Amino acid sequence: MTERRQAGPRCAALVGPYLSGKTTLLEHLLHACGATQRRGTIKDKNTVGDFSPEARARQMSVELNVASAEYLGESWTFLDCPGSIELAQDGYNALLVADVAVVVVEPIAERMRAAGPLLKFLDEREIPHMIFVNKLDDATSPVRAVLEALQAVSARPLVLRQVPLQDGEEVTGYVDLVSERAYRYKPGEKSDLIAIPDTEKEGERSARQQLLESLADLDDGLLEKLLEDTVPPTGEIYALLTRSLQSDRVVPVFLGAAEKDSGVRRLLKALRHETPEVRSAAARMGIDAARGEPIAHVFKTVHMPHTGKLSLARIWRGEFADGMQVNGERLSGLSRMTGQQQARLAKAGPGMVVGFGRLEKVKTGDAVTPSGKVPAGLSPWPDPALAVYGMAMRAENRNDEMKLSQTVAKLCEEDGSLRVEYNADTHEMVLWGQGEIQLQIAADRLRTRHHLAVKMQPPQVPYMETIKRATTQHARHKKQSGGHGQFGDVHIAIKPLPRGSGFAFEDRVVGGAVPRQFIPSVEEGVREYLKRGPLGFAVVDLAVALTDGQYHAVDSSDMAFKTAARLAMSEGMAKCEPVLLEPILKIAVAAPGEFTANVHRLITGRRGQILGFEPREGWAGWDETKCYLPQKEMSDMIVELRSLTTGVGTFHWAFDHLQELTGRHADEVVQRRQRAAAAQ
């Protein structure tokens, strides 16, 4: 292989479906680099990554793991991203700043769908990526089948770089298809070079031919050689592979078993030789790495209990030093991370991934510069995923309510796919996110990091009510107690309005039957009543007119008229045929086409009304179904949708309208409301 000069600091993101072995791979990469003395395992809860109590308890990654290492004199940062679909935000953010992504998958062909959205993101953004087929010690599908299933969800051609050597079921090593050398795995050490076994020679040759043909599609020189039956020099193939990875035109596929330490060094070598330097990723973000003031991008925010806010950033250009001014704030603390270890730095340069301390105003996705200005042409940071699952949250101790909203705001800063909403109709604080696990992790963090115990429950649906009939009503409020009495007398007309009209108040009094100054009090009394109608919910879509009344020169007051109005409403409304209104959402459900029939069953099973479906724009083979769905039915819909669609189905939603609800469902809602009111 040709010698090349040392590369600057580079960054690789480890991504891929849930539990495919990314954190285990990180552990072994770090060990192969010499950054750690021993290799931990997920089961023994002693890995460098996943060190938080929330991750250890679940034996899964719950947030990004950052680890730095040197390999053969070059500097690396690995960003090990959580695989759970609910925690995908960290991964998408990490990919934007990485030079290369390693997509770790399990050798189970039926599960490759789960990698589809990720591969699509990498393809669309032209982020160089390779695939590591892990757990070959426990393979359930042949490598070919895995490759085919992956190719079905990848826009770029995949090229197998290794073929496995097998002893019966067991994978014992591999043949490198470029160098045509065979290696036997030796756990914890470099693999042994062996001769290609005779039985494997033919398979190896045809796999190599396929690799060359894929590359020849991209290179005329190679194509000519293949047509002339000339064998191209190895160095030339490596160079072409490197170029095609860097321009993201080909996706190399490597094999191994991270936990057995198999294939890890080969992967590391490929990263070392083929990963582009920081300027490529900078250019992708619209930044010229060669010219201008220092600039870095914040891709993750964490709030540490003792040391405060930390903004993880990739430096694209120039040098950052502890104490310097950036974005109008003082950088206090500059560090490089490996798991929970932080090494303080005085300064840091291009390519490095560092933690910026205490930049209170800086958010994930912000570019950071000494002047605070960002270059023209900077790519916008993509919006986080829309929330699909919400839970009402409250502090166990009422005195903690204030602290809870401040702390939840920090959690939302750490994970952009979390959002908090204060619902004025139901008086609940609702934490919105991607699913139950994500919200449960948030609740655990509140407890372990912030000493806040919280209770969560499904959010209340903001039902409302309206009326179906008009009526008129007279009411008088009169009291004689000691000195001043109270006197207010009103005649009102109540009538329904079309859906979406809200509330209208009208003053139709003639001849001063009710003096001017008391009319606002009548309206106030009506509005107060409307907060809770005969069924127990806020009342909308009606008009109330004050038509007549009487007053008393001494005893009439604002209070007396307000009370009379409330009285008239509570007597009159009962005669107006109150009816429940249910909030209806407009939803667009997206899933691969083979699941469309199931998706439709799910929607109709949840009292939904399908409006139509069509191919999802930009997503080959996917459909998007639009429907109306009662808000109540949306609460756990994502759970069922994911289980129907191998985890990839998703939806967008927005409130659309209120709709009358009668019958059994309505009775249940009203009874529940009455029981809750009685319990208060």
Ligand X SMILES: Nc1nc2c(ncn2[C@@H]2O[C@H](COP(=O)(O)OP(=O)(O)OP(=O)(O)O)[C@@H](O)[C@H]2O)c(=O)[nH]1
By CB under 5 A, name the binding residues for Mg ion: 22-23, 61
Tell me whether residue 270 or residue 334 sits nearer to ligand X (CB atom): 270
Of ligand X, Mg ion, none, which one does residue 20 interact with (CB within 5 to 8 Å by kind)?
Answer: ligand X
- Sole residue written with tokens 């076994």: 197
Tell me whether residue 63 or residue 582 sits nearer to ligand X (CB atom): 63
Number of Cβ atoms within 10 Å of the Cβ of 671: 11
DSSP 594: G
Chain-centre distance for alpha carbon 673 = 34
Of ligand X, Mg ion, none, which one does residue 135 interact with (CB within 5 to 8 Å by kind)?
Answer: ligand X
Shortest Å distance, C-beta 442 to ligand X: 17
Tell me whether residue 337 or residue 544 sits nearer to ligand X (CB atom): 337
Note the helical H segments in 247-286: 264-274, 278-284
Of Mg ion, ligand X, none, which one does residue 465 interact with (CB within 5 to 8 Å by kind)?
Answer: none
H/E segment holding residue 455:
strand 454-457
What is the C-alpha separation between 263 and 187, in angstroms, rounded? 10
Can you name the residues that pair with 347 across neighbouring β-strands? 321
Of ligand X, Mg ion, none, which one does residue 139 interact with (CB within 5 to 8 Å by kind)?
Answer: none
Q: Do residues 489 and 522 make contact, with C-beta atoms less than 8 angstroms apart?
A: no
* Contact footprint for ligand X (CB under 6 A): 18-24, 41-43, 60-61, 82-84, 134-135, 137-138, 257-260
Tell me whether residue 260 or residue 336 sits nearer to ligand X (CB atom): 260
Burial class (CB in 10 A: 0-12, 13-18, 19+), 107: buried
Shortest Å distance, C-beta 132 to Mg ion: 13
Shortest Å distance, C-beta 61 to Mg ion: 3
What is the C-alpha separation between 620 and 309, in angstroms, rounded? 41
Burial class (CB in 10 A: 0-12, 13-18, 19+), 399: exposed
What is the C-alpha separation between 210 and 212, in angstroms, rounded? 5
Shortest Å distance, C-beta 65 to Mg ion: 7
Q: Structure tokens of 123?
A: 């393809």
Q: Which residue, among 430, 493, 440, has the nearest Cα to 462 in the 3D structure? A: 430
Q: Which residue is nearest to ligand X (CB)?
A: 83
Q: Which residue, among 235, 280, 281, 340, has the nearest Cα to 98 in the 3D structure? A: 281
What is the C-alpha separation between 33 and 73, in angstroms, rounded? 10
Can you name the residues that pair with 415 across neighbouring β-strands? none
Number of Cβ atoms within 10 Å of the Cβ of 391: 22
Shortest Å distance, C-beta 15 to ligand X: 9
Shortest Å distance, C-beta 305 to ligand X: 23
Q: Which residue, among 11, 142, 147, has the nearest Cα to 71 in the 3D structure? A: 11
Q: Do residues 49 and 23 make contact, with C-beta atoms less than 8 angstroms apart?
A: yes
Cα angle vertex 425, ends 419, 431, to 5°? 20
Tell me whether residue 19 or residue 456 sits nearer to Mg ion (CB atom): 19
Shortest Å distance, C-beta 26 to Mg ion: 8
What is the C-alpha separation between 669 and 426, in angstroms, rounded? 14
Tell me whether residue 260 or residue 309 sits nearer to ligand X (CB atom): 260
Tell me whether residue 65 or residue 631 sits nearer to ligand X (CB atom): 65
Q: Do residues 339 and 29 make contact, with C-beta atoms less than 8 angstroms apart?
A: no
Tell me whether residue 86 or residue 465 sits nearer to ligand X (CB atom): 86
Shortest Å distance, C-beta 82 to ligand X: 5
Shortest Å distance, C-beta 311 to ligand X: 23
Of Mg ion, ligand X, none, which one does residue 134 interact with (CB within 5 to 8 Å by kind)?
Answer: ligand X
Of ligand X, Mg ion, none, which one does residue 260 interact with (CB within 5 to 8 Å by kind)?
Answer: ligand X
Shortest Å distance, C-beta 50 to ligand X: 7
Tell me whether residue 135 or residue 673 sits nearer to ligand X (CB atom): 135
Q: State the DSSP string of 494-515.
A: EEE--TT--EEEEE---TTSS-
Shortest Å distance, C-beta 384 to ligand X: 19
What is the C-alpha separation between 299 and 91, in angstroms, rounded? 10
Tell me whether residue 339 or residue 630 sits nearer to Mg ion (CB atom): 339
Tell me whether residue 14 or residue 310 sits nearer to ligand X (CB atom): 14
Shortest Å distance, C-beta 268 to ligand X: 15
Of Mg ion, ligand X, none, which one does residue 19 interact with (CB within 5 to 8 Å by kind)?
Answer: ligand X
- Sole residue written with tokens 């001017």: 516
Greatest CA separation for the chain: 116
What is the C-alpha separation between 93 and 383, in angstroms, rounded? 10
Of Mg ion, ligand X, none, which one does residue 21 interact with (CB within 5 to 8 Å by kind)?
Answer: ligand X
DSSP 539: B
Shortest Å distance, C-beta 64 to ligand X: 10
DSSP 621: T
Tell me whether residue 258 or residue 591 sits nearer to ligand X (CB atom): 258
Tell me whether residue 79 or residue 542 sits nearer to ligand X (CB atom): 79
Burial class (CB in 10 A: 0-12, 13-18, 19+), 322: middle
Shortest Å distance, C-beta 125 to ligand X: 21
Q: Which residue, among 145, 140, 135, 95, has the nearest Cα to 119 in the 3D structure? A: 95
What is the C-alpha separation between 347 and 589, in angstroms, rounded? 48
Tell me whether residue 259 or residue 465 sits nearer to ligand X (CB atom): 259
Chain-centre distance for alpha carbon 355 = 22
